[in-house]
Amino acid sequence: MFKRILIANRGEIACRIIKTARRMGIETVAVYSEADRDALHVQMADAAVAIGPPEAAKSYLAIERIVAACRATGAEAVHPGYGFLSEREAFPRALEKAGIVFIGPNPAAIAAMGDKIESKRAAGRAGVSTVPGHLDAIADAAEAIRAAEAIGFPVMIKASAGGGGKGMRIAFSKEEVVEGLARARSEAKSSFGDDRVFIEKFITDPRHIEIQVLGDKHGNVIHLGERECSIQRRNQKVIEEAPSPLLDEATRRAMGEQAVALARAVGYDSAGTVEFVVGQDKQFYFLEMNTRLQVEHPVTELVTGIDLVEQMIRIAAGEKLAIRQSDVKLSGWAVESRIYAEDPYRNFVPSTGRLVRYRPPPEMRENGVTLRNDTGVTEGGEISLYYDPMIAKLVTHAPTRLQAIEAQAEALDSFVIDGIRHNIPFLAAVMAHPRWRAGRLSTGFIAEEFPSGFRPRAPDEEAARLMVAAAVAIDHVMGERKRRISGQLPGRRVARARRRQVVLGERSYGVEIASAEAGGNGAAPAAVGSSSLVLIYHAGGDAPPQRLAVRHGWKPGDRLWRGTVDGRAANVQVRPVLNGFALAWSGFEATAYVYTETEAALARLMPPKKQADSGKQVLCPMPGLVVSIAVKEGQEVKAGEPVAVVEAMKMENVLRAEIDGVVKTINAKPGDSLAVDAVILEFV
């Protein structure tokens, strides 16, 4: 077994590998760019080596610098993680030449499967079902249009060396083929150093299901069941689970056998994933093979009890697989949510900046439920525009699918992040979505269920009752605290009115505090771990009043209200705003103002604040680099026409005009680094 390994990666996957290596008694070496000097993986490793500037091409993708770091630290082997160099045939060959072991498949297997065009040909020879397509590299737009028309729309344009949703576009027309080809090629070149793309049929209403395989260097290959990865946005997986709610045992066995046959055909000898596109009728077609560890590997680990990183290390060290196919048993259900630094209310554009607060729910294993958080950040750290925007992977495991979903929803509600925008509100909304909970999935789920993008969900009846109760409890604690401030003028004690009007979003609710009790020797609620209230709640209209028993432990400054409302446990996110609180729970969001009846009457007289009109400007929706400007000053532009391309976190985003107009001024040029909401151009 190795004594020291180097991890040629960053972020959460580097931290994940370090944890397993540490448990195995193996020393670890981290590498880092200038942007990652203070990153968590650098702090966790036994040694760390600087390898260059922030740009990945000059650091994490620089093979010679990784090899030099191995020589400098005496690392015997390298784990590539995923992304970066993990699927580049040249990397293990360079390591082999330097006498260093690659913790991954042999170069020939990477060459056979890492190239998406060649992998489809190999799959066909191995008897694996494949999607119809044009498997030659596309030379130009004219050839792309001919191929797409021959296959039939819609088609998928895909980077031959791609992965992770980069270099992929769906096209429904000739015009979309031309634009999609340009974007896919550019992203592929930027992310993988290879701009070759091919075209295949896009299966409508498909599901994305993949099989995890393990092979050793002695000819043994097994599979570890499937993962369902159908919840995707822009071909990027967002939520994964294992097993799949679609598959039956016969289909699982057939897919597993084909995956193993393909792995055997190319002499595969590490952890890898064979991805399939699956129809709702359970017909499946080979998509691609990822010759590396997958982002979503934790769900497989939790349902099988097998540490995939450990298996990769043992295989690379020459050990035989100690697991036979008959040993693999799937137990319970696991769900993973990818927490990204992005703004779900602005079409999920990346968000960069400092993590002012980062308080994930504690990892635990109790009452049949496991909660795991794979992360590579810490509070005070910075989310950089140079790398993928993933902050963490939150994973829950339970005996049943619905129990795993409930555990995931509760964990998302209690995950506190401040300083940047993030997609937790969206993930929480999906966890509560009836179609997701029923397992009726497809890769079009997000586009179909959120066709106009994601917007804050106004509280329904249940959410309103819970959020109003939390708001009144918070206001009560704040009021009690103010009454105990020292040095107040003597005189008659102030009596607080028991009736409240709670404005929650667009609606108003009446609440009466029937009784209030502070826990712990009569101390003030702000100073104790538990307080209780009994509220008389009026939802309005003809609804009868309800009596609500509320218990909680909130104190001023907390960003999380943990409590129960009539016995129902809830974790409500709390952020102070002027005269009120911004609350979020289970994907619902609203601002709450707790007034006395007199205050409520006066508040109703206040005029609403008008939003500024920015319709005649094109604003940069995220911090990023300007790739190109498609218009000139004085040019007439129609609504929907592309005007600029901005790159952020390895993804290119096409910005389009929202109105018809004539370009008045252009304030940016290719190569400029822009802040969020920077004005790119203005119309007359």
Structure tokens at 429: 């909304």
Residues 116 and 160: beta-carbon distance below 8 Å: yes
d(CA 135, CA 507): 57
d(CA 659, CA 638): 7
User: What is the sign of the dihedral through the CA atoms of 538, 469, 466 and 420?
Assistant: positive
Which one from 12, 87, 226, 288 is the annotated catalytic residue? Answer: 288
Nearest one of 221, 224, 225, 156 to 184, comparing CA atoms: 156
User: What is the sign of the dihedral through the CA atoms of 335, 341, 343 and 347?
Assistant: negative
* Single-letter amino acid code for the residue at 574: V
Please work out, in degrees rounded to the nearest 5, the angle formed at the alpha carbon of residue 372 by the alpha carbons of 367 and 377.
Answer: 150
Residues 158 and 235: beta-carbon distance below 8 Å: no
Contacts 24+ apart (CB under 8 A), 177-181: 177/141, 177/144, 177/145, 177/148, 178/141, 178/144, 178/145, 179/642, 179/654, 181/138, 181/141, 181/144, 181/157
d(CA 177, CA 79): 37
Distance of CA 436 to the CA centre of its chain: 16
**Number of Cβ atoms within 10 Å of the Cβ of 37:** 11
Contacts 24+ apart (CB under 8 A), 434-437: 436/231, 436/239, 436/405, 437/402, 437/405
Q: What residues are paired with 526 via a beta bridge?
A: none
Please work out, in degrees rounded to the nearest 5, the angle formed at the alpha carbon of residue 665 by the alpha carbons of 662 and 669.
Answer: 120
Catalytic-residue membership of 506: no
d(CA 20, CA 313): 10
d(CA 150, CA 144): 10
> Which of the 8 DSSP states describes residue 134?
E
Q: What residues are paired with 633 via a beta bridge?
A: none
Please, what is the angle between helix 90-97 and helix 63-73, to 10°? Answer: 30
Please work out, in degrees rounded to the nearest 5, the angle formed at the alpha carbon of residue 8 by the alpha carbons of 7 and 12.
Answer: 70
Catalytic site residues?
288
